[in-house]
Structure 1
């Protein structure tokens, strides 16, 4: 079971509500429950330090009614729903709630009540997915009318890089979508090595680079075919191999060209490893893709806490295709 407990942080805005349509199909496929959470600012965290207690209670009652209404709509889909209202700073309370309730997937929109801005994410979203240490689905709101009708994932692009982490993600996605009419595209982008210098590279250097790229291409081609064959079991799996200088750009551009509904990838790629809470490749795709991005986090909580505290840790183990149920016979 890929996920057990999903969290949707809501701030009463229509933008934040767009996460619901994406959470419902994942909850259905996983058999997971959904937690609806609203963080109400206490008087000490508001601009007005003299908040009227009556107004505060009325606002809380309004929020409760709002969440109960959404609860009814989601519960009608045969999904168990938990509703909670907490006080404090939104990002801090969301992260604390995740820890307290063993949330393993956060479904959140890039923007909320503050509206869509020139920045890649709203401040709360940015803090949550960088601080929660959980898998998350980031949704770009505003591209379609807000609706609680479930979003169907018919075509999913999985970013592959030859690492056990990406294989683990592909396995998780295949398990999640088992029994559905879906196509999974396993995309690996072979990077053309950069050779920065004042003068153009020589013919010999160009030939060496071409040989290096071709060697990687042949290895990746066989690798993708092998993974695709292992994942096929009532699901259409299609490998795709590309060569580009900008890997992240090629990933989100290809997703748009293929008309996929979802991009899935590991929080960490083979190059950045586990030195950051979210790797450079993943973060770049999240920032520039207009499509929902499902990010799988696999780092132990102890390592995440060490990273957030600036402590260097040795990450010697990670999930692999062999030990995460690749054989779905």
Structure 2
């Protein structure tokens, strides 16, 4: 399990606190340390330095109050209050402490807007380069002491990116009463034009989809066999015009508690923070989405040395933009 340092950025709002239960759940499974962090926004600094210092004391008390029930569950937790611009300080903290997972809500004290994410959340997962969970506020999370993921949907696309994510998700939930759904969506190729496609073109498209469907079935069955060790794994293959829409719609229909996916699919170049499918899922799904960033080779070697890395078919982690056609 790669998560050993989990960051929960909090801005003092009840909305941001909805992410805490998810951080606690993952920390319990992995033995990770939780970092509670509040950034005292320097742009809102009071003219009166006494008021500023009093506010800092209040924030420390606030974090201590949140840390107490977490600590009572046997989880190591730290509290930090820093000054500066929120997104910049959060990213800097990730570098200093070597955070490997950020758990945050899509919006904070600014509330829901017409945009997919609040500005701070957008900057954090764009600039940190860390794996993250986006929690969309509004759905009441379960009580921390009863928190459990009963069913997880892992988005598969036939790439080594998604296979590695499935390994990590299985490791994360090993030994629990839960079900993992391995979902691969076969895309129907677009053929944009003014005139309808010909019968021959339609047959060609159908043949293409069928070839991908057969290959997908083989890959999913193989993954399920190798991961089904103490947990229930169910492969699911669907054909759809819109891959992302099918993923979050299926997740809702299957009543899953968490969607897990790679930030980058086989088509995504390294210049992008997330691939198109991933961005669409985290933008439109109401469910929590766990997005795994690719590990560096040095990190992978450390995992292998401890016999933690999940070996499927690939000896190394994927290189972005791999030719997976």
Q: Give the TM-score normalised by the residue count of structure 1.
A: 0.89
RMSD of aligned Cα (Å): 1.9
1:146–1:242 distance in 2 versus 1, CA, 3 Å: closer
The structural deviation recorded for 1:300 is: 4.2
The structural deviation recorded for 1:194 is: 0.5
Match of 1:119 among 115, 118, 124: 115
In structure 2, the partner of 1:53 is 49
1:171–1:324 CA contact under 8 A, matched in 2: no
Count of equivalent residues = 305
The structural deviation recorded for 1:51 is: 1.7
- 1:250 matched to 2:246? The reply is yes
In structure 2, the partner of 1:321 is 312
The structural deviation recorded for 1:55 is: 0.8
In structure 1, the partner of 2:176 is 180
- CA deviations on 1:46-104 (whole Å, 9 max, x unpaired) are 2x6x6211111111111010000111110011000011010000000000000000000
The structural deviation recorded for 1:273 is: 3.9
In structure 2, the partner of 1:139 is 135
For residues 66-81 of structure 1, the aligned pairs below 5 Å read 66-81=62-77
Counterpart of 2:191 in 1: which secondary structure?
coil
Question: Which ranges of 4 or more aligned residues in structure 1 deviate by more than 3 Å?
Answer: 145-150, 319-325
In structure 2, the partner of 1:313 is none
Q: Give the TM-score normalised by the residue count of structure 2.
A: 0.90
1:194–1:145 distance in 2 versus 1, CA, 3 Å: closer
For residues 128-167 of structure 1, the aligned pairs below 5 Å read 128-144=124-140, 148-149=144-145, 151-167=147-163
1:186–1:239 CA contact under 8 A, matched in 2: yes
In structure 1, the partner of 2:307 is none
Counterparts of 1:150 and 1:193 in 2: how far apart (Å)? 44
Counterparts of 1:249 and 1:211 in 2: how far apart (Å)? 23
For residues 242-321 of structure 1, the aligned pairs below 5 Å read 242-298=238-294, 300=296, 321=312
2:107–2:121 CA contact under 8 A, matched in 1: yes
Counterparts of 1:176 and 1:123 in 2: how far apart (Å)? 30
1:28–1:79 CA contact under 8 A, matched in 2: yes
- 1:19 matched to 2:19? The reply is yes
Counterparts of 1:146 and 1:236 in 2: how far apart (Å)? 22
In structure 2, the partner of 1:197 is 193
The structural deviation recorded for 1:15 is: 0.4
1:25–1:150 CA contact under 8 A, matched in 2: no
The structural deviation recorded for 1:167 is: 0.2
The structural deviation recorded for 1:320 is: 7.1
2:25–2:144 CA contact under 8 A, matched in 1: no
In structure 2, the partner of 1:310 is none
The structural deviation recorded for 1:23 is: 0.6
